[in-house]
Structure 1
Amino acid sequence: MPKTILVAVLSVALVCSIILQPDASFQASLQGLAVWWNIIFPGLLPFLVLYEIMLAFGLVHALGALLAPLMTRLFRLPGEAGLVLMIGLLGGYTAGTAAAADLRKRQLISSSQAERLQAYSHMPNPLFMLVIVGAGFLHRPLTGVIIAAAVWLSALWLLLATSLLSGKAGRIMLQSNDRASGRLIGSAAAAMQAAREKDGRSFGTALGEAVSSGVQKLLMIGGFILCAAVFARMCEPLLSPFLTTAPFLGPALFESHLGAYAAAEWQQHASSTAVASAIAATLAWSGLGGILQAVHSASGTDMRLLPFIAHRIAHALHAALFVFLLWKPITILAHYLSGSIAQTTSAHQPGLNVVLSPFPYSTSDLPPIWDKSLITAGVCLAACLIAVVILKQRRWAR
């Protein structure tokens, strides 16, 4: 009853604010529509179509089978969780959460395992980070690579850290899902064959349904973006003390795609690393819209909301930190590789003296925090080594 009253009051307040400010709400809707139609729709549709085809022909299931031993031994999750993690990495926010909820409904994992798996399979679309954010929003492809690496690695790190705290609950499914390492490729091939036989659609049918499904998903994303744009504009008076220093906080609170676009516009007033860390935190947080989608996917299970929100906040903070940790190594590696490509091209074409560098920025804009981040990286490495030792000791004890 209290939740119903609260939702009703907020809905009435929002409707009243839209009526009192029709011009502002209309302009916010136009801005959200422009971002969705001009950038997100053409950028994500090809990937969503290819992803559905990969599902239909069992490639995602094969990749999940390859991850099964890692999930069992390192993350203390059943082997089926590998498929869920791959679906989350490749399919975007709602795909991973729906797959994790399905495992819980079939009683293949415990409630705590399902909450951890749902939290860290709730990932942004990879093409959105690599292409739309990097090349579209920031016009710097390498920054999209750094953001994607920070979001993925921070999720895996948190999944490993939380597995160490899972206790005996994580041992329930370990023995029944253990697979011999020598049969790993065979298991992946068998998973692909079984998924293909279960699907049974021809390529033409799968392609047509993939296009239809991709358009439907993008329409849903567009609806969330438009609503988030209006909500953010209506809530600006409440968030005004924070918007002076970080103007992207309003859109980022409600919707990750629009928040990433707002954070990209912030690059005129902040350093490249600060903008990249803000975008990584926004995508890891996923916005209230993404959280509500995850709650809808988990309906009918005993998975709780508050732990999921806590995981989202932790993921956002760690993703921002990982941007600072990865910025200089990835930048140096990219410049080294681009220099090697330029030298190779010049060797084949003696008249070509132009250095091919697709990354038009240098490391001079790195913040002073980099000097201290080396110590943080050492601490993280030591923690990982300790975690591996503990896991090996537990395995020998069994």
Structure 2
Amino acid sequence: MPLVRFLLRPAIIPAWVAALLALLLVFFPASALEASIRGLSIWWEVLFPALFPFFVISELLLGFGIVHFFGTLLDPLMRPLFRFPGSGSFVFAMGYASGYPVGARLTAQLWEQRLITRAEGERLVAITTTSDPIFLIGAVSVGFFHNAALAPLLAAAHYGGAFIIGLLMRFHDRKAPDSPKAVSAYAGGAKRSILRQAITAMHRARLMDGRTLGTLLQDAVQAALRLMIVVGGLVVFFSVIMELLTNVGIIEALSGLLRFVMGAIGMPDTLANAVISGIFEVTLGAKGAGASTGSGLVHQAAIAAFILSWGGLSVHAQVVSLLSRTDLRYRPFFIARLSHAILAIFLVYLLWNMLGPVS
């Protein structure tokens, strides 16, 4: 019994999981290779060209002091709404424009520069980990559903849900202190305009950075490449995991259980496979939701909104990797993603008569 208790300790379980995956690789090498190539193709053809420019530009903007500019300018707006400093507005804009996991990367950078506290960072990364509009409109609405009229509904449910989560997250860790820079950014210079203070903050940040344009550009490209390698590795890894779990029947077993649950709550059980795929990887899940044509468009849209807002464990792993050098915790992020996903479903049903496509 002591040996059994030792082998089942939480610290030992990851080792057993890793050993099981290694064993599955031995039994299904061809499937694992095909899944790896598939994941690598997604990374090279979709993620690399979509994310790499944003990573480079964000590094440059940080070096130029643009974050400090927006931090000072928008601090009076961001703090009452979301309880993080104005520098979070930069992450807000870049995260929503470029999609996951850019928000996590920029949040980690702000934490490293001591512009945000742990609580503020956890709030910020929870609400800026969203799909980018190009993926939501082009890939999901047009590519998977073949219905561009669905885009306004999905956008309202996804981004509207993120905004609501942001308002709720302001109550997260309520006793945590505000970041000093956010408080002092405009309080010390009340006689000067907020715009002038923002420009001064940007200038000081640029002087403190001190790197030449050539050095800054080189560092930005190198940092972006390192990050893209991590993202690519995680995409390939989860692609292989999905394939191995499918080969041994675990995915089908999970789908069967979910079909029973969905049938009990009145949702079409034909969407169970899409949900299971989306729990692991957002692209596969959204594609599965669009392909389940006999389930009813409103239910398909609700599941697609759920998957987009959840993000998939692949994105979760990317976020955890990006935050590994900070003291930001995964649990608040997980709760926010799950809450966002459930809220997105309700928003789709609530807004269907107003924004849903006309039959």
Tell me by how many angstroms 1:207 deviates: 7.0
Q: Deviations over 1:174-230 (max 9, x none)?
A: 75455679934445545555566647654x887777666666555443332222122
Tell me the distance in 2 between the aligned counterparts of 1:78 and 1:164: 15
Aligned to 2:250: 238
Q: Structure 2 length normalisation: TM-score?
A: 0.73
Quote how far apart the aligned CAs of 1:163 are.
2.0
Q: Distance in 1 between matches of 2:277 and 2:241?
A: 8
Q: Residues 212 and 283 from structure 1, CA distance in 2 versus in 1: closer, same or farther, beyond 3 angstroms? A: farther
**Residues 260 and 172 from structure 1, CA distance in 2 versus in 1: closer, same or farther, beyond 3 angstroms?**
same
Is residue 51–residue 91 contact of structure 1 (8 Å, CA) maintained in 2?
A: no
Out of 233, 236, 241, which is 1:226 matched to?
Answer: 236
**Deviations, residues 344-379 of structure 1 (Å, cap 9, x unaligned):** xxxxxxxxxxxxxxxxxx423xxxxxxxxxxxxxxx
Tell me whether 1:309 sits opposite 2:319 in the alignment: no
Q: Deviations over 1:270-307 (max 9, x none)?
A: 33333333233223222223223323333354433323
Structure 2 match to 1:123: 130
Query: What one-letter code is carried by the residue in structure 1 that aligns with 2:244?
Result: M
- State the match for 2:260 in structure 1: none
The TM-score normalised by the length of structure 1 is: 0.67
Trace 1:244-323 onto structure 2 (pairs within 5 A): 245=270, 246-264=272-290, 266-323=291-348
Show CA shifts across 1:10-49 (max 9, x none): 1111121222223333343344344444544455556656
Q: 8 Å contact 1:231–1:254 — kept in the other structure?
A: no
Q: Is the 8 Å Cα contact of residues 63 and 86 (structure 1) preserved in structure 2?
A: no
CA distance in structure 2 between the aligned counterparts of 1:113 and 1:60, rounded to whole angstroms: 16
Note closer, same or farther for the CA distance 1:181–1:151 as it changes in structure 2 (3 Å cut).
farther
RMSD of the alignment, in Å?
3.9
Aligned to 2:193, what secondary structure does the other structure show? Answer: helix
How does 1:133-148 map onto structure 2 within 5 Å?
Answer: 133-148=140-155
Q: Is the Cα–Cα contact under 8 Å of residues 76 and 170 in structure 1 kept in the other structure?
A: no
| 1:183 to 2:183 alignment | no
1:13 to 2:20 alignment:
yes
Alignment of 1:38-57 (within 5 A): 38-44=45-51
CA spacing shift, 1:302–1:285, aligned 2, 3 Å: same
Q: Is the 8 A contact 1:28 1:233 kept in 2?
A: yes
User: Matched residues in 1 for 2:133 and 2:326: separation?
Assistant: 28
C-alpha distance in 1 between matches for 2:215 and 2:146: 37
- Corresponding letter in the other structure for 1:243: S
Q: Which runs of 5+ in 1 are unaligned?
A: 332-361, 365-398
Name the CA shift for 1:80/1:39 in 2 (closer, same or farther; >3 Å): closer
Shift in Å, 1:323: 3.2
Deviations, residues 250-273 of structure 1 (Å, cap 9, x unaligned): 432223344334434x34343333
Letter in 2 for 1:161: L
Find the counterpart in structure 1 of residue 266 from structure 2: none
- Secondary structure of 1:248's aligned partner: helix
- Name the stretch that deviates more: 249-258 or 186-195: 186-195
Cα 1:166–1:178 change in 2 (3 A) is farther
User: For 2:315 and 2:60, how far apart are their aligned partners in 1?
Assistant: 24
The more displaced of 126-135 and 312-321 is: 126-135
- In structure 2, give the amino acid aligned to 1:310: I
Distance 2:183 2:205 in 1: 24
1:317-368 CA-partner distances (Å, limit 9, x unpaired): 122333334455445xxxxxxxxxxxxxxxxxxxxxxxxxxxxxx423xxxx
Alignment of structure 1 residues 1-398 onto 2, 5 Å: 2-44=9-51, 62-104=69-111, 109-164=116-171, 167-169=174-176, 175-177=183-185, 183-190=193-200, 198=209, 202=213, 217-236=227-246, 237-243=249-255, 245=270, 246-264=272-290, 266-330=291-355, 362-364=357-359
Relative distance call for 1:30 and 1:98 in structure 2 (3 A) is closer
Structure 1 residues 158 and 45: CA distance shift in structure 2, 3 A: same
Across the two proteins, how many residue pairs are aligned to each other? 332
In the alignment, structure 2 segments of 5+ residues that lack a partner are 1-5, 257-269
Distance 1:109 1:216, change over 3 A: closer
- Residues 194 and 283 from structure 1, CA distance in 2 versus in 1: closer, same or farther, beyond 3 angstroms? farther
